[in-house]
Structure 1
Amino acid sequence: MVEPLQRARVGSDALQTLIEELAQFLGRSVVLDDPLVRFICSSRHYGDADAVRIRSLLQGQADDDIIRYVLDQGVAQWRAPGYIEGRDDLGLNARYCVPLRERGHLLGLLMVMAPDKNLTEEEIRAISRTAPAVAAQMYAEHRAGDTEEAHAQELLLGLLGASPVGRGTAHRQLAEGGLLPDAPHALVTVVRATRSREASGQVEVALRGALEGFRRTRSAHGLLAVTGDRAVLLQVGDRPLRSQEVTAQCTRIVEALDTYLGASAGAVVGVGGRQDGPADAWISYEQALVAARAARRLPHLGRVGDWDGLGEFAVLLQLPDRALNPSLLPQPLRTLLEAAGGHRLVDTLRCFLEHAGSVPRTAEALQIHRTSLYYRLKQIQEITGLDLDDGRDRLVLHLGLQVRELLAPKDGDTPA
């Protein structure tokens, strides 16, 4: 299982000082979280700690249900401070929450313990005086790391781009700058999530939060680029990531995004094929884009598409979205669907083709007598005018069935 190395989330001395001074003035515990309600720093106790705060201090982060509850209050969109209601069943007392923004960017959440929601005007004024200083300090610390981060992201996108010259230049600069080891194995993962336009900034923050822990694991080193509603993760290592490692990683990413954004964001993951080092990572990237489209269109994949397991879908999904429409369905298949009992015959046809035309295995799978199966297959041939003993005719029908699955309407379906 891929285990991300724990990233230190302790605030700077300057932030710690600001939080402690405010807490001492208020005589209340104060906590500073990032936009995903992950712990940055905290004051000492003032006898008002609840079960949630104690667990957060011990674990270094809040439980997923707490994060989801806080984010569901819409704090990422709040334009003014307010109270977060307590929840006895979660062990959460009420808190006074101040969204910390600088130049339009949400940097974090300042939380003041207020179990009875009884902050005085003087206390609120003190919080209002401290919040801008905390936001300014956070912004300065973010800016300090932004230049290197932006440069690494630009090089990663160049490494995965369409230009061979650009890929070569990016590869060389990444190696010379020590940003990425020239390991023999490479894998690219693409993650997509959607949210309302008002919450688009939250999506970008959530994507980064869900993937940043996988930039350095026990098995791989990597780079991450987040642009809008898409994140790209390149991982390289001395050995290819095992299937179970990739599966565990994808599961954790989807679960994290569901926690941060809710299932309505429809997060999907696409995993490219394993390639021979960073120079060929662009191939894995192109494959991961297709796999992400598959994850969006095919519910049975469980929101995670892996190029190596897509089969014929890997070919069909090379078609642009405008081409994936009912006109692609072969006429014989359309005729079969429109015939009396056509849907039952289509199910029989699919089972027959998936069992390589084996009558015994198909009859067993459908739990019908072979005589009944022969009768249905005869009907299919008469209606479609195709010969199920002809490999080309079977291919037409099989591809048609796969296209039909891609065209099936999905809730909230948008092109990946």
Structure 2
Amino acid sequence: MSGSDLQRVVDALAEKIGRSVAINDPSVHLKCASRHFGDEDEVRVHAVLQREGASAVIGHMLAQGITGWTGPGVIPARPDLHMRARLCRPIRCRSELLGLLMVIDPESLAEADTAAIEDSAAAIAALLYRDFVAEDAQRVAGEAAVLELLCGTAERRTAAQRALGRQGWLRNGHHATVSVADVVAPEKENAHVEVALRVALEAVARNRFTEFALAVEGNRGFLLQSAPAPKEHLRDQGAVVAKQVREVLGESARCAVGIGTTADGLAEAWISREQAATAARSARMLPDAADVVLWEELGVYATLLEIPEDRLTPLLLPAALTRLIANDPHGRLVRTLAVYLDNAGSGPDAAAALHIHRTSLYYRLHQIEQITGLSLSNGDDRLALHLGVRLMALLDDRS
């Protein structure tokens, strides 16, 4: 579709009703806008200048259920976002949502204005559908290739790399760093998770100078970039994704972002993806974990999180640690053991961390040895208990 075709229809409608008109895509990103007629608010000005809406605004609009509307409705104002009320007229063709026609201040629309909007909706739908058929086929093919490159078998990864090359994606393929974003949201928000992930991932991709490819599958998003970047840059990038998802879905949603190491070329991108998925799992499961986790900072959890979820049960805990838990209803001894082992068996450091006298610490350690039947001076016994304590952190989230 020629963008000028859609622009002409939008401009003609705006002149006819004497109002600003905008067409957004189903993710509430601006596709086309008329000139202003003095009815603009800060949200419209920002969208026209930046070619994207603020994620909090998108979240407010999606919360009204606009992607499921079959006819026009009103999006209420949000003074805190400097947003006036809008008429939203979904543009559909063959039941497919193609776009959202927006007009500010719907209460002042005359009956003739509403009729003109309806008359223009059919022409806009035809133009958007022509665009949708071409663009969606390309997007679907591209994302399918990205998913195969990251998650497929060796043979499929090779074919996907060739397909991406033919499409002109990721031509600079000397490096590959993958981020995985997992979203956990209330059931009522599940319909908007894909939109939220696309808004977040596209916001990162648009604001960087390296090549990106993205894909969304269910509640998981993948971001593949073809240039190395410093750790803090990657962490900040992941924080943007997590923040944008929360702003679209609300604070009850959680987005856990894992980041893999930089692989040598697209052929090894699957390694970075596996690492990123493990890191995202740690962000979901570990108590007090940050929203963004780098795989190389996982330590022993990089190994423990390879245990399949259906095998991650209390049966994995050493029998000695299970006895200690059973005989420690308040968790004081388990906490003491964890701190002692985390401080490499240093009595002074552990006592300081626990804010107790060393005599109290050694008394507790003696109790631990009596209950477990293990010796804290034995390296193998300490390792077994330390791994068990680390596993407890993963099991606590599942209890």
TM-score (norm 2): 0.91
> What letter corresponds to residue 18 of structure 1 in structure 2?
V
Could you tell me which residue of structure 2 aligns to residue 5 of structure 1?
Answer: none
| Aligned match for 1:87, one of 78, 93, 103 | 78
Q: Determine if the alignment matches structure 1 residue 131 to structure 2 residue 121.
A: yes
In 2, the alpha carbon distance for the partners of 1:266 and 1:383 equals 39
In 2, the alpha carbon distance for the partners of 1:272 and 1:56 equals 33
Q: What are the within-5 Å matches in structure 2 for residues 9-408 of structure 1?
A: 12-114=3-105, 117-175=107-165, 178-194=168-184, 200=190, 202-215=192-205, 218=208, 220-237=210-227, 240-340=228-328, 342-408=330-396
The answer (yes or no) to whether the contact 1:175–1:182 under 8 Å persists in 2 is no
Deviations 1:174-202 (A, max 9, x none): 44654323543221111222557776553
In 2, the alpha carbon distance for the partners of 1:198 and 1:370 equals 52
Residues 219 and 356 of structure 1: is their aligned pair in 2 closer, same or farther, counting only changes over 3 Å? farther
Could you tell me which residue of structure 2 aligns to residue 8 of structure 1?
Answer: none
The answer (yes or no) to whether the contact 1:219–1:241 under 8 Å persists in 2 is no
SS in 2 for 1:86: coil
Question: Which has the larger displacement, 64-73 or 380-389?
Answer: 64-73
The answer (yes or no) to whether the contact 1:201–1:228 under 8 Å persists in 2 is no
> What letter corresponds to residue 113 of structure 2 in structure 1?
E
Residues 285 and 385 of structure 1: is their aligned pair in 2 closer, same or farther, counting only changes over 3 Å? same
Greater relative contact order (Cα 8 A, min sep 6): structure 1 or 2? 1
In 1, the alpha carbon distance for the partners of 2:12 and 2:287 equals 52
SS in 2 for 1:193: strand
Query: How far does residue 215 in structure 1 lie from its aligned partner after superposition?
Result: 4.4
> What letter corresponds to residue 144 of structure 2 in structure 1?
E
Residues 176 and 123 of structure 1: is their aligned pair in 2 closer, same or farther, counting only changes over 3 Å? closer
The answer (yes or no) to whether the contact 1:182–1:278 under 8 Å persists in 2 is no
Residues 23 and 37 of structure 1: is their aligned pair in 2 closer, same or farther, counting only changes over 3 Å? same
Deviations 1:54-95 (A, max 9, x none): 343344444443333223222223232111222334332221
The answer (yes or no) to whether the contact 2:181–2:221 under 8 Å persists in 1 is yes
The answer (yes or no) to whether the contact 1:291–1:305 under 8 Å persists in 2 is yes
Moved over 6 A (4+): none
Deviations 1:352-378 (A, max 9, x none): 111111111111111211111111111
Query: How far does residue 389 in structure 1 lie from its aligned partner after superposition?
Result: 0.9
Query: How far does residue 266 in structure 1 lie from its aligned partner after superposition?
Result: 2.4
SS in 2 for 1:264: coil
In 1, the alpha carbon distance for the partners of 2:274 and 2:355 equals 41
Residues 379 and 265 of structure 1: is their aligned pair in 2 closer, same or farther, counting only changes over 3 Å? same
Q: Which runs of 5+ in 2 are unaligned?
A: none
Query: How far does residue 303 in structure 1 lie from its aligned partner after superposition?
Result: 2.5
Q: What percent identity do the matched residue pairs reach?
A: 43
Deviations 1:282-340 (A, max 9, x none): 11112222222112112422222321111111111111111112222222222212224
The answer (yes or no) to whether the contact 1:336–1:342 under 8 Å persists in 2 is no
SS in 2 for 1:276: coil
Q: CA RMSD in A?
A: 2.5
How many residues are treated as equivalent by the alignment? 398
The answer (yes or no) to whether the contact 1:101–1:107 under 8 Å persists in 2 is yes
In 2, the alpha carbon distance for the partners of 1:92 and 1:212 equals 23
> What letter corresponds to residue 253 of structure 2 in structure 1?
A
Query: How far does residue 110 in structure 1 lie from its aligned partner after superposition?
Result: 1.1
The answer (yes or no) to whether the contact 1:100–1:108 under 8 Å persists in 2 is yes
Residues 394 and 258 of structure 1: is their aligned pair in 2 closer, same or farther, counting only changes over 3 Å? same
In 2, the alpha carbon distance for the partners of 1:26 and 1:295 equals 51
Q: Which runs of 5+ in 1 are unaligned?
A: 1-10
In 1, the alpha carbon distance for the partners of 2:210 and 2:49 equals 28
Residues 210 and 287 of structure 1: is their aligned pair in 2 closer, same or farther, counting only changes over 3 Å? same
The answer (yes or no) to whether the contact 2:186–2:252 under 8 Å persists in 1 is no
> What letter corresponds to residue 111 of structure 2 in structure 1?
E
The answer (yes or no) to whether the contact 1:223–1:233 under 8 Å persists in 2 is yes
Deviations 1:85-108 (A, max 9, x none): 223343322211112233443332
SS in 1 for 2:252: helix
Query: How far does residue 41 in structure 1 lie from its aligned partner after superposition?
Result: 2.2
The answer (yes or no) to whether the contact 2:287–2:397 under 8 Å persists in 1 is no
The answer (yes or no) to whether the contact 1:28–1:112 under 8 Å persists in 2 is yes
